[in-house]
């Protein structure tokens, strides 16, 4: 318990500690002492990091939705490299499941299930099958997601609205509902929900996608608090990345914030799971979005982030994956 507290402390983002330090500590002497403490924590970090690397995925049964493409596929590979006992892939794309299994079976035990997670009944049925065939899921990563078109909301259609909400927002809840009661009963397990920075900042031409990720963040973080109130050891991690170069958002142009690379992004997500992080924005600066929204007048926020940084135009040339 005490060791976990030390781990949590040393894994805290030190940039944030420095900001707090210089904002709140006025006395120069105290400032010096605090700076030394932060530096000591920084020096201690690698020791505890090493320990973290070994624990979470070793001998775990890991279920990843959308695990046959993009970051889901890479997370599956990394989970096996870290010693996962079994990787279970849920995906709608049968061909990609087969190629992923062919690649990953060299590293460890991997099985795939073709499933459309927007069909709740099929999800319940498929999980029952998985539970019988593979045993308890220790780590669930809700990663499957979709985005449609680059049109303003008035040009959306009912089918794409329903599909986006079903796959990105409702399905993660239904899937979590299958694994969570057993995790709570066993007092162990981890659910990681891949949301998006679009769930923190409003953005034109992706309103429905933003709504689905906004829903995921609200739900995921609420469950985290419920588990904390229950004093459960089951962990929830919510991830909110900026655009990642996987193909899902092909055509997007981002001038100031670089589009993220899949491999380093996955490393950050996996590390967040290993460290029991509750919420992770990638890059780190995205943690401050809500802060800026809170302190700036809306017109200033819209002008600066929307027009100067260019966030409100990133979707203008979006094509999405062609096949």
Q: Which of 180, 241, 269, 311 binds ligand NAD (CB under 6 A)?
A: 241
Q: How far is the CB of 82 from ligand NAD (least distance, A)?
A: 19
Residues 242-301 that bind ligand NAD (CB under 6 A): 243-244, 246-249
Among this protein's residues, is 113 annotated catalytic?
no
Total residues interacting with ligand NAD, rule: CB under 6 A: 29
Residues 50, 78 contacting (CB under 8 angstroms)? no
114: CB partners within 8 A, 6+ apart: 91, 92, 93, 94, 97
Question: What residues contact residue 42 under an 8 Å CB cut-off, 6+ apart?
Answer: 14
Considering the rule CB under 6 A, would residue 192 count as an interface residue with ligand NAD?
no
String marking each residue 146-185 x if it binds ligand NAD according to CB under 6 A? x--------------------x------------------
Write the interaction track for ligand NAD spanning residues 58-97; mark x where CB under 6 A is met and - where it is not.
Answer: -------xx-xxxxx------------------xxx--x-
Choose, by CB under 6 A, the member of 170, 196, 203, 207 that binds ligand NAD: 196
Q: Which of 117, 56, 63, 68 is nearest to 88 (CA)?
A: 63
The nearest distance, CB 320 to ligand NAD, in angstroms, is 9
Hey, what's the torsion of the CAs at 257, 263, 269, 271, to 10 degrees?
Answer: -120
Which position among 113, 127, 209, 242 bears the catalytic label?
Answer: 209
Structure tokens at 86: 């079994």
Question: Reading across the β-sheet that carries 139-142, which strands appear in turn?
Answer: 110-114, 86-91, 61-65, 139-142, 190-194, 235-241, 279-282
Site string for ligand NAD, 24-63 (x = CB under 6 A): ----------------------------------------
Among 194, 206, 208, 217, binds ligand NAD (CB under 6 A): 194
Q: Does 127 bind ligand NAD (CB under 6 A)?
A: no
Residues in the chain: 323
CB 320 within 8 A of CB 249: yes
**Which of 303, 293, 291 has the alpha carbon at shortest distance from 23?**
291
Peptide bond into 226 cis (omega under 30): no
Footprint of ligand NAD (CB under 6 A): 65-66, 68-72, 91-93, 96, 115-118, 143-146, 167, 194, 196, 241, 243-244, 246-249
Instruction: Just list the catalytic residues.
Output: 209
């Amino acid at each position: 318990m005490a060791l976990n507290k030390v781990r949590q402390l040393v894994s805290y983002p030190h940039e944030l500690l420095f900001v707090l330090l210089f904002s709140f500590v006025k006395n120069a002497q105290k400032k010096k002492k605090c700076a030394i403490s932060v530096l000591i924590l920084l020096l201690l970090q690698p020791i505890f990091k090493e320990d973290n690397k070994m624990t979470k995925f070793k001998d775990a049964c890991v279920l990843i939705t959308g695990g046959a493409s993009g970051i889901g596929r890479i997370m599956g590979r990394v989970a096996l490299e870290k010693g996962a006992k079994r990787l279970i892939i849920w995906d709608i794309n049968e061909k990609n499941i087969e190629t992923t299994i062919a690649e990953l079976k060299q590293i460890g035990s991997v099985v795939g299930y073709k499933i459309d997670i927007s069909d709740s009944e099929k999800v319940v049925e498929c999980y029952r099958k998985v539970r019988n065939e593979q045993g308890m899921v220790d780590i669930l990563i809700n990663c499957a997601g979709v985005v449609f078109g680059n049109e303003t909301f008035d040009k959306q259609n009912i089918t794409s609205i329903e599909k986006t909400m079903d796959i990105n927002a409702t399905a993660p809840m239904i899937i979590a509902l299958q694994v969570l009661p057993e995790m709570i009963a066993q007092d162990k397990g981890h659910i990681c929900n891949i949301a998006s920075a679009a769930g923190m900042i409003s953005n034109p031409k992706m309103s429905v996608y933003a709504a689905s990720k906004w829903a995921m963040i609200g739900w995921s973080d609420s469950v985290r608090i419920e588990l904390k109130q229950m004093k459960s050891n089951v962990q929830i991690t919510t991830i909110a990345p900026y655009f990642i170069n996987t193909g899902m958002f092909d055509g997007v142009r981002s001038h100031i914030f670089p589009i993220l690379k899949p491999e380093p992004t996955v490393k950050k997500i996996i590390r967040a799971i290993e460290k029991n992080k509750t919420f992770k924005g990638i890059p780190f600066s995205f943690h401050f979005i809500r802060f800026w929204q809170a302190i700036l007048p809306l017109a200033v926020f819209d002008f600066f982030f929307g027009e100067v940084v260019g966030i409100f135009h990133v979707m203008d040339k979006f094509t999405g994956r062609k096949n």
